[in-house]
């Protein structure tokens, strides 16, 4: 018998994957969580019915949400990841030679525990001596740490439940206060095809707080529409002005120094979402 899992990505469209088996299902304090072993993408982490990460395509998202901001800052020593309980962003952050301290603030302890158990390839960086894992609300954490981080990465779920405030103007303001005077941050900002309003609104709010605001794209097959956006807010450094010949050499599968620049080249319909 064949068993298939469908994420209803919109009212009218779903991503359907043939499964080998379901490895884990639970209701945590914050969200419903499942680990499904799919034939096409390998193990898949699902929160509240939405695919968060899969073994086969996780590298795209995790490399692009980390290496673009890290290589925009000339000396990213102290880095914060908000959300990201699967550990993929942290695994990438600690590849960067400048990073001395990486802090993960995840609201749901069970996401980290289940990722350690079922996704060792993704969570493997969490035990690195430079990494501290804190179970708390990212909003509270940034409010409590002023003028502290070089780079902040908001690796959040979609704007539902505990992540709603992670897409607010007040949160971006608080992030700015938590960054040092030349700091920068990036947030995942959803799909240009299906979440145009989220992209426009986030860009608008971030540009009210940060003098340099830039949108970039990557191709993530298991996320709705496959085309995914990230928005960077920066106090000083322009990601498109980086001397990419000086980007340190470390292993990646998607990110390259050339791609660092080309990912900011937007298709017309996406560029139109962020016209003031
Ligand atoms: N790459 C993913 C995506 O876009 O689908 C996101 C992955 S990661 C698993 C998202 C994490 O953000 C979840 O584990 C969730 O618990 C966490 N999260 C949501 N709201 C949060 C908050 N306010 N503070 C800290 N973590 C939060």
The tokens describing 94, both together, are 């600690």
Q: Is 155 in the pocket of ligand 1 (CB under 6 A)?
A: yes
What digits encode the pLDDT tens for the residues 112-162?
999 999 999 999 999 999 999 999 999 999 999 999 999 999 999 888 887
- Among 30, 31, 86, 163, name the best residue to mutate to test ligand 1's pocket (greatest count of ligand atoms within 8 A of Cβ): 163
Question: What Cα–Cα distance (Å) separates residue 263 from each residue in 98, 230, 254?
Answer: 23, 10, 11
Residue nearest to atom 5 of ligand 1 (CA): 52
Domains defined along the chain, listed by start: 3-53 (2.30.140.10), 58-274 (3.40.50.150)
pTM of the predicted model over 0.95: yes
Select which of 144, 155, 238, 249 is catalytic.
Answer: 155
Q: Is the CB of 156 under 6 A from ligand 1?
A: yes
pLDDT tens digit string along 159-188? Answer: 888 789 999 999 999 999 999 999 999 999
What H or E segment, with its residue span, contains residue 177?
Answer: helix 169-178
Q: Are 178 and 190 in contact (CB under 8 A)?
A: no
């Amino acid at each position: 018998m064949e068993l298939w899992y469908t994420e209803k990505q919109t009212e009218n469209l779903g991503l359907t994957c043939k499964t080998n088996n379901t490895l884990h299902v639970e209701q945590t304090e914050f969200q419903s969580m499942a680990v499904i072993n799919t034939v096409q993408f390998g193990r898949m982490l699902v929160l509240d019915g939405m695919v968060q990460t899969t073994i086969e395509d996780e590298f795209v998202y995790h490399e692009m949400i980390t290496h673009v901001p890290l290589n925009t800052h000339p000396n990213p020593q102290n880095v914060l990841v908000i959300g990201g309980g699967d550990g993929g962003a942290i695994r990438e952050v600690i590849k960067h030679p400048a990073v001395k301290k990486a802090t993960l603030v995840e609201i749901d302890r069970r996401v980290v525990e289940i990722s350690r158990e079922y996704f060792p390839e993704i969570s493997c960086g969490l035990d690195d001596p430079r990494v501290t894992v804190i179970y708390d609300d990212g909003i509270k954490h940034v409010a409590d740490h002023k003028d502290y981080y070089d780079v902040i990465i908001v690796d959040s779920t979609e704007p539902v439940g505990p992540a709603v405030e992670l897409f607010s103007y007040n949160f971006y303001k608080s992030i700015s206060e938590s960054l040092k005077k030349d700091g920068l941050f990036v947030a995942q900002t959803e799909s240009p095809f299906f979440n145009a309003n989220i992209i426009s609104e986030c860009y608008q709010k971030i540009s009210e707080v940060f003098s340099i605001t830039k949108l970039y794209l990557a191709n993530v097959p298991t996320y709705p529409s496959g085309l995914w956006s990230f928005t960077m807010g920066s106090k000083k450094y322009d990601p498109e002005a980086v001397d990419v010949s000086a980007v340190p050499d470390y292993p990646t599968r998607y990110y390259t120094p050339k791609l660092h620049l080309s990912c900011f080249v937007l298709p017309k319909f996406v560029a139109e979402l962020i016209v003031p």
